[in-house]
Amino acid sequence: MKTGFIVLLLVATGAIARDIHVGKDAPTIAHAIKAALPGDVIHLEPKVYRDYAGFYNKKGEPGKPITLDGHGATLEGSDPIDPAQWTEVSPGLFANDHLIARNDDAIIGRWFFLWNGQMQHMGRTSKGRSAPLKKPEELQPGEWTFVKDPSREKPPSKQIYGTFYLKLPAGQKLADANISAPMRSAGVQFSGDNAHLVIKNLTAAHPYNDGFNIHGDCRDVLFENVAAIECGDDGISAHESAQYRVDGFVSIGNSTGITDTGTAQTSYKNVFLAKNIGFDLYFLDEGRYTLTNALVFSSAQNPLSITGRTTGDCRMQMKNVFIRRLAEPLTGSVALRAVLEAKHCTFENMDIKVAGAATWENCLINGKSFPEGSGSVGADLHELMKLVPKDFKP
């Protein structure tokens, strides 16, 4: 009935921009996106949706974007597990052969469970060093693993099959364990040819892949006041020839804070990153990237990596960026066929290795001025600290 209402409204109003409220004017986010025309605004409520926003060949018009306004909503990628789908194979050890409909090595590399709201990734990450999966008999309470079953595979498909295991304390019921599993791949997902879109005031949490997964070609796209929390892979990631701007981005507890690749052209402004696992900042291939007004509390395995390809260089501009290394000192890298232009940047408790090319203007690296002897002052820490979320604890 609600879908029919939208169709009638489209006929009646023609090109008049509309407000589409999910749950009132459209039953789901997907229905609202499908119905939206240039100039329309899709509104979410400030609550948790166990859903995602997919944009597939969706276009507004110049000056009349299609807008998704979350109003503080969270797109939750994980669902509570169903105890009826698990079998107790030994005291406290539970097994499930059919947890997700499709599985492959990449998904397993990103996988985690939420245990009482806490991300349990078993020391594994999609980019960077990962611990091997344990044998089921090695699990301690609060741990999980996955065991492949090659006999069920069907080459040349890359899909894999196997069994997930969960270990609970002796005597605890699975229904009382408060465990969730990531059942969606992203919070916001682009594919195909998209243009003239605005996505704002929205948080993506706990998908097994990216918070904001941008594939294909897109033009004139703005992400404003968005966040990615504890995603299996990247907080946000541009692929192929995507072009977009981000103004206001928080990325906490993801495998990677930001990863951009291909020939993408992206611009990030007013950014806060913390508690990411594999990489904080990872820019690759032949893209053109800018990062302005960014505060990074770094504890990832790799704080900064900029690397090109044999077919072309990767170019990165950083202005007023402060990276404070909270874990052991590590070295960021500007690899061969990569170019970094840094202005008013500060890198604390970390060095930068340059095999490609880098220029420095009023920068500090481990307290040393770049250019040397210039009296550089680096990033404006007082202003950057305003980017820290009010509830953040290092």
Q: What average pLDDT is seen over the chain?
A: 94
Q: Is 394 a residue whose pLDDT tops 90?
A: no
CB atoms within 10 A of CB 372: 8
CA distance 327 to 300: 8
pLDDT in tens, 122-143: 999 999 999 999 999 999 999 9
Nearest-CA neighbor of 85 among 175, 207, 168, 184? 175
Name residues whose C-beta falls within 8 Å of residue 280's C-beta, 6 or more positions apart in sequence. Answer: 256, 257, 258, 273, 296, 298, 300, 302, 303, 304, 323
The percentage of the chain sitting over the pLDDT mark of 70, rounded to a whole number, equals 96
Checking if the pLDDT of 116 tops 50, the result is yes
Sign of CA dihedral 19, 21, 22, 25: negative
pTM of the model: 0.94
Per the CB < 8 A criterion, the answer to whether 380 and 344 are in contact is yes
Report cis status (omega within 30 of 0) of the bond before 371: yes
pLDDT tops 80 at residue 350:
yes
Predicted confidence (pLDDT) at residue 14 exceeds the cutoff of 80: no
Secondary structure of the chain in HEC code, one letter for each residue = CHHHHHHHHHHHHCCCCCEEEECCCECCHHHHHHHCCCCCEEECCCCEECCCEEEECCECECCECEEEEEEEEEEECEEECCHHHCEEEECCEEEECCCCCCCCHHHHHHCCEEECCEEECCCCCCCCCCCCCCCHHHCCCCEEEEEECHHHCCCCCCCCCEEEEEECCCCCCHHHCCEEEECCCEEEEEECEEEEEEEEEEEEECCCCEEEEECCEEEEEEEEEEEEECCCCEEEEECCCCEEEEEEEEEECCCEEEEECCCCEEEEEEEEEECCCCEEEEEECCCEEEEEEEEEEECCCEEEEEECECCECEEEEEEEEEEEECCCCEEEEECCCEEEEEECCEEECEEEEECCEEEEECEEECCEEECCCCCCCCCCHHHHHHHCCCCCCC
26 burial level (CB within 10 Å; 0-12, 13-18, 19+): buried
Query: Residue 341: which pLDDT band, with cuts at 50, 70 and 90?
Result: very high
Residue 170 has what pLDDT? Answer: 87
96 has pLDDT over 50: yes
pLDDT at 11 over 80: no
Residue identified by tokens 């970094």 is: 340
Share of the chain above pLDDT 90, in %: 90
- Residue 101 amino acid letter: A
Mean pLDDT of 88-94: 96
Q: Which residues pair with 41 in a beta bridge?
A: 19, 67
pLDDT higher than 60, residue 9: no
Predicted local distance difference test score (pLDDT) of residue 393: 87
CA dihedral 268, 274, 275, 281 (to 10 degrees): 30
| Tokens, residue 276 | 């990411």
Q: How far is CA 125 from CA 90, 97, 230, 303, in A?
A: 28, 23, 11, 15
pLDDT surpasses 80 at 196:
yes
Q: Find out whether 29 and 7 touch, Cβ atoms under 8 Å.
A: no
pLDDT at 1: 41
Instruction: Give dist(CA 113, CA 287) in Å, integer.
Output: 33
Q: What is the pLDDT of residues 253-295, one digit of tens each?
A: 999 999 999 999 999 999 999 999 999 999 999 999 999 999 9
